[in-house]
């Protein structure tokens, strides 16, 4: 092979390797399965990833997550087609009613779902806490959501605390961790 | 005769146009839309959202929407990732061009290598008119004579 052909071959090989590394970096940075959830599991208290999404509990208007700073937030990722999400919805409503005077907000994120189905779900279960539509699932990678339902707790400083609850909050195995998450989010030292 | 040919050709053209402009086919759309949770096409998935999307497509076909309209509605809700084939515009155009580019580069590289190798072979082989050393030629003739008896 001539020196020139060899150089061209090397350039092509290096370009291909760099391209694959860029794709790998992209996947690690923006893919699902890591995100804030992984940082929390590693012992950290990550800042809750911000987002702005359209509300589906009201007619029109967006909700920006960072606008809730100063409040304790229970962030619940759900979808209308998810059966455990139906089971836990009344419990989330009860939480909202019980703690709202203490500055706690329940925020529902309806992901990978038809927004009209989400609206029907909210009406059916009489949910009065804010809910946003994330049909594209744009928040899932940053938060590290791997399935539905999944529930996070964010304190008044905007940091994720406690444990991520996978599966319904109404399940016996999750009750204690759910109560602990609310306590930590509220900054209750008891 | 020529009139008959014209009539047949016209009928074929009209029939093709009618099929192309007809209502979208459920099975075709299910093969062109990806389930957002399991990442396979709808026709290969029974995930709850895939089942719901199949129902939605059925409703929209019955309502008279075209395939393009149904796809646009699903992209608006779930993002461009629901399309099994990326759109042929903007950044997504790369998905179509890169394989063609890779093939073109491959053809150029293989061609360059073929030319290089063929040149090397012609220089390595040495000219065929090279003559044997006279002493060797004499010995070879003797051996052949003896062999042939």
ipTM here? 0.78
Residues from chain B contacting residue A134 (CB–CB below 8 Å): none
The pLDDT tens digits of the residues spanning B64-113 come to 999 999 999 999 999 999 999 876 767 777 777 888 888 998 999 899 88
Which A residues in the span 105-164 are in contact with B, Cβ-Cβ below 8 Å? 112-115, 117, 135-138
What global pTM score does this model have? 0.72
Helices A172-186 and A83-99 meet at what angle, rounded to 10?
40
pLDDT at A6: 76
**Closest in A5, A82, A112 to B112, CB measured:** A5
Q: Are A18 and A24 in contact (CB under 8 A)?
A: no
**A16 against B18, higher pLDDT:** A16
Q: What is the DSSP string of A119-186?
A: HHHHHHTT--S-EEEETT-TTHHHHT--SSSEEEEE-TTSBEEEEEEES-TTSHHHHHHHHHHHHHHH
Which A residues, 36 through 95, put their C-beta within 8 Å of a C-beta on chain B? Answer: 79, 81-82
d(CA A33, CA A53): 21
For residues B23 and B69, give the distance between their C-alpha atoms in angstroms, rounded to a whole number. Answer: 12
B19, pLDDT greater than 60: no
Give the model's confidence band at B7: pLDDT under 50 very low, under 70 low, under 90 confident, else very high. Answer: low
pLDDT in tens, A29-45: 655 558 999 999 999 89
Q: Is the pLDDT of residue B13 over 90?
A: no
Quick one: closest CA in B to A111, which residue? Answer: B78
| Nearest in space to A59 (alpha carbons), one of A134, A133, A151, A142 | A133
State the angle between helix axes of B93-124 and A3-30 in degrees (0 to 180), rounded to the nearest 10. 150
B106 vs B112: CA distance, rounded Å: 10
pLDDT tens across A57-114, in order?
Answer: 998 899 999 999 999 999 999 999 999 999 999 999 999 999 999 999 999 999 999 9
Contacts of A116 in chain B (CB under 8 A): none
Nearest to A114 among B37, B56, B79 (CB): B56
Interchain proximity B105–A114, CB inside 8 Å: no
Mean pLDDT of all residues belonging to chain B: 84
């Amino acid at each position: 092979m001539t020196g020139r052909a060899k150089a061209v071959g090397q350039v092509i090989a290096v370009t291909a390797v760099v391209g694959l590394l860029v794709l790998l970096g992209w996947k690690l940075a923006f893919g699902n399965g890591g995100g804030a959830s992984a940082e929390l599991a590693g012992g950290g208290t990550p800042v809750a990833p911000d987002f702005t999404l359209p509300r589906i509990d009201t007619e029109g208007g967006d909700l920006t997550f960072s606008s809730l700073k100063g409040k304790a937030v229970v962030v619940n990722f759900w979808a209308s087609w998810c059966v455990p999400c139906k089971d836990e919805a009344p419990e989330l409503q009860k939480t909202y009613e019980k703690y709202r005077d203490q500055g706690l907000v329940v925020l529902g994120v309806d992901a990978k779902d038809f927004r009209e189905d989400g609206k029907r779900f909210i009406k059916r279960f009489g949910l009065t806490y804010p809910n946003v539509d994330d049909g594209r699932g744009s928040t899932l990678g940053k938060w590290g959501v791997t399935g539905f339902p999944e529930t996070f707790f964010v304190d008044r400083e905007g940091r994720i605390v406690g444990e991520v609850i996978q599966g319904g909050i109404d399940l016996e195995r999750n009750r204690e961790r759910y109560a602990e998450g609310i306590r930590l989010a509220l900054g209750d030292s008891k | 005769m020529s009139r008959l040919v014209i009539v047949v050709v016209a009928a074929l053209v009209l029939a093709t146009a009618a099929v192309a402009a007809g209502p979208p086919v459920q099975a075709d759309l299910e093969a062109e839309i990806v389930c957002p949770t399991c990442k396979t096409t709808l026709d290969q998935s029974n995930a709850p959202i895939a089942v719901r999307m199949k129902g939605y497509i059925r409703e929209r076909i019955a309502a008279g929407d075209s395939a393009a309209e149904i796809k646009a509605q699903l992209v608006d809700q779930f993002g461009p990732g629901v399309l099994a084939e990326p759109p042929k515009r903007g950044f997504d155009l790369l998905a179509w061009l890169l394989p063609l580019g890779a093939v073109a580069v491959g053809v150029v590289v293989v061609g360059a290598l073929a030319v290089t190798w063929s040149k090397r072979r012609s220089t390595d082989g040495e000219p065929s008119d090279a003559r044997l050393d006279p002493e060797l030629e004499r010995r070879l003739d003797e051996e052949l004579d003896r062999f042939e008896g």
